[in-house]
């Protein structure tokens, strides 16, 4: 761990070219009803990747600590396709994406012309699929997309519309009944790892990290899909952008790229500041923030984590970077809570807790049979939920002393890459084959 002092000087710019061209969820009135969408935000909802604010934290109480295929599993629904995207929860519905027709694990590779994505609406009460919207792929797509497949971006909900991102096939807006409202392309490139970043809603904009498709951040009018601004120079960036309130009462949009964290004015796309990460790899974990400090993980060796204070101008590496650390993760994102950072290493099966102010490691504990962990954790009711790729969920008490409360196994020859969703007193898990609902019976 290395702390960086605060000399009072500024450095050069190094910004990408910018072309200037939220309310959240609802408490549903019942399946098929959109009336509840107009009644304002509901804290029980999970409206985007990693929930409200993208921080992975829920105010929910009463979530189960222990479960299995025979205990506290309320329902399990087979999905009509594979995927790594996370579910979102809006009132009494769960929305999730998947894909079929080509490159599905465990099936013949198939013909790319048959590739299509699906947006599913599932009854949260019983797991029934209420409707399925099919979206044919804009071809050609990558033939070598890795194990995460063609549906890795999580939908977002703004109180009126659902927004889904399908890589070079574009961004789509739907109403609650699956009616397509608009479609917008954000670039035509593709990558062997596919796309992963999820939509972020800010005021009247839907913001997309289109690193793969056009090396850009793209802001679309959420009512029409028309482009409002585009910021270029977004390279090797698979993370979902983060909206960060700064000490001046303004909101910044932060995104991690290879070697830097960049911040923009989310209303206009104007560059605000940039900070060197000293991380020598692409950036996949999404960042978190608290009290105007942004925390980032990434990389496989060397520097793998850092903290930077928001609210600066131009290059803030020497003035606002608080610390760096060699402990991090290359895939899963962290949790920030009560002055401590928590995360799981993607390959080592080690759970970390660090002091947020300094980066000092408080504990590092290897979890039994954890294997790989790609999903980002969630925190609710003082407990951390870590999901391994093999379907084991480790429940760890949040606090400075490591305490493993339970290990819950849903292993069923599925791969669990998606991050959990929390709504009410239920936990929603997703594998490449099934959607699961866990709650106290």
Please give the residue range of the domain that contains residue 51: 2-439
Q: What is the pLDDT of residue 44?
A: 78
Q: Any idea which residue has 């000490």 for tokens?
A: 247
Q: Predicted confidence band at 144 (pLDDT cuts at 50, 70, 90)?
A: confident
pLDDT of residue 9: 26
CA angle centred on 60, ends 201 and 369, rounded to 5°: 95
Which pLDDT band holds residue 264 (cuts at 50, 70, 90)?
Answer: very high
Percent of the chain topping pLDDT 70: 90
* pLDDT, mean of residues 363-390: 97
- Res. 336 pLDDT band, cuts 50 70 90: very high
Please report which confidence band the pLDDT of residue 29 belongs to, taking 50, 70 and 90 as the band edges.
Answer: very low
**DSSP string computed for 235-271:** -SB-SPPEEEE-TTS-EEEEEEETTEEEEE-TTT--E
Tokens 């206009």 belong to which residue?
Answer: 268
DSSP 190: -
- pLDDT class for 146, splitting at 50, 70, 90? low
Q: What is the mean pLDDT of residues 420-425?
A: 96
Mean pLDDT along residues 135-162: 92
Does the pLDDT at position 334 exceed 60?
A: yes
What does DSSP assign to residue 113? Answer: G
Task: Give the pLDDT band (50/70/90) at residue 304.
Answer: very high
Lowest mean pLDDT among 18-27, 205-214, 241-250, 268-277: 18-27
Structure tokens that stand for 204 in this block: 């009247």
Residue 352's Cα: distance from chain center in Å? 19
pLDDT over threshold 90, residue 17: no
* CATH number of the domain bearing residue 98: 2.130.10.10
pLDDT at 10 over 70: no
Asked whether the predicted pLDDT for residue 102 surpasses 80, the reply is yes
Q: How far apart are CA 401 and CA 418, in angstroms?
A: 27
pLDDT in tens, 208-240: 999 999 999 999 999 999 999 999 999 999 999
Structure tokens at 113: 């012309």
Is the Cα dihedral 388, 1, 280, 336 positive or negative? positive
pTM of the model: 0.91
Where do we find the tokens 């000087």? 9
8 A C-beta contact, residue 1 and residue 142: no
How many whole angstroms separate alpha carbon 440 and alpha carbon 250? 41
257 - beta bridge partners? Answer: 260
Q: Residue 324: is its pLDDT beyond 60?
A: yes
What are the φ/ψ torsions at residue 39 (nearest 5 degrees)? -95, 10
Q: What is the pLDDT of residues 30-73, one digit of tens each?
A: 333 333 333 333 457 999 999 999 999 999 999 999 999 999 99
Instruction: State how many domains the chain has.
Output: 1
Range with the poorest average pLDDT among 121-125, 191-195, 291-295, 382-386: 191-195
pLDDT in tens, 363-373: 999 999 999 99
Looking at every residue in the chain, the average pLDDT score rounds to 90
pLDDT score of 42: 43
Distance of alpha carbon 411 from its chain centroid, rounded?
23
Q: What is the mean pLDDT of residues 407-415?
A: 92
Q: Is the per-residue pLDDT at 150 higher than 70?
A: yes
Tell me 317's DSSP state. H
């Amino acid at each position: 761990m290395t702390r960086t002092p605060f000399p009072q000087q500024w450095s050069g710019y190094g910004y990408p070219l910018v072309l200037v061209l939220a309310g959240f969820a609802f408490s549903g009135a019942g399946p098929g009803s959109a009336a509840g969408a107009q009644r304002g935000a509901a804290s029980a909802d999970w409206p985007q990747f990693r929930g409200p604010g993208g921080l992975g934290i829920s105010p929910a109480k009463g979530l189960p600590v222990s479960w299995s295929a025979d205990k506290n599993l309320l329902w399990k629904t087979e999905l009509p396709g594979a995927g790594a995207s996370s579910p979102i929860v809006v009132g009494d519905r769960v929305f999730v994406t998947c894909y079929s027709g080509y490159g599905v694990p465990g099936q013949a590779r198939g013909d790319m012309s048959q590739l299509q994505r699906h947006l599913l609406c599932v009854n949260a009460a019983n797991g029934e699929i209420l409707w399925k919207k099919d979206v044919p792929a804009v071809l050609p797509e990558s033939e070598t997309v890795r194990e995460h497949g063609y549906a890795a971006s999580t939908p977002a909900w703004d109180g009126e519309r659902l927004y889904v991102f399908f890589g070079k096939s574009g961004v789509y807006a739907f109403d609650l009944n699956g009616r397509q409202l608009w479609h917008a392309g954000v670039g035509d490139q593709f990558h062997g790892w596919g796309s992963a970043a999820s939509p972020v809603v800010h005021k009247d904009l839907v913001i997309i990290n289109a690193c793969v498709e056009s090396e850009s951040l793209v802001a679309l009018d959420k009512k029409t899909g028309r482009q409002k601004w585009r910021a270029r120079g977004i390279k090797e960036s698979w993370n979902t952008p983060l909206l960060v309130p700064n000490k001046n009462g303004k909101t910044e949009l932060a995104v991690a790229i290879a070697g830097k964290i960049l911040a923009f004015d989310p209303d206009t796309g104007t560059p605000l500041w940039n900070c060197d990460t000293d991380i020598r790899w692409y950036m996949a974990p999404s960042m978190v923030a608290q009290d105007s400090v942004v925390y980032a993980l990434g990389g496989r060796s060397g520097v793998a984590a850092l903290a930077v204070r928001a609210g600066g101008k131009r290059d803030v590496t020497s003035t606002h970077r608080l610390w760096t650390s060699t402990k991090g993760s290359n895939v899963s994102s962290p949790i920030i809570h009560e002055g401590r950072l928590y995360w799981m290493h993607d390959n080592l099966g080690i759970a970390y807790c660090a002091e947020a102010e300094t980066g000092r490691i408080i504990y590092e504990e290897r979890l039994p049979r954890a294997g790989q962990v790609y999903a980002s954790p969630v925190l609710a009711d003082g407990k951390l939920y870590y999901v391994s790729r093999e379907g084991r969920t480790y429940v760890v008490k949040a606090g400075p002393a490591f305490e493993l409360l339970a290990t819950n196994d849903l292993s069923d020859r599925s791969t669990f890459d998606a991050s959990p969703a929390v709504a009410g007193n239920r936990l929603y898990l997703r594998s490449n084959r099934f959607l699961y609902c866990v709650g106290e019976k």
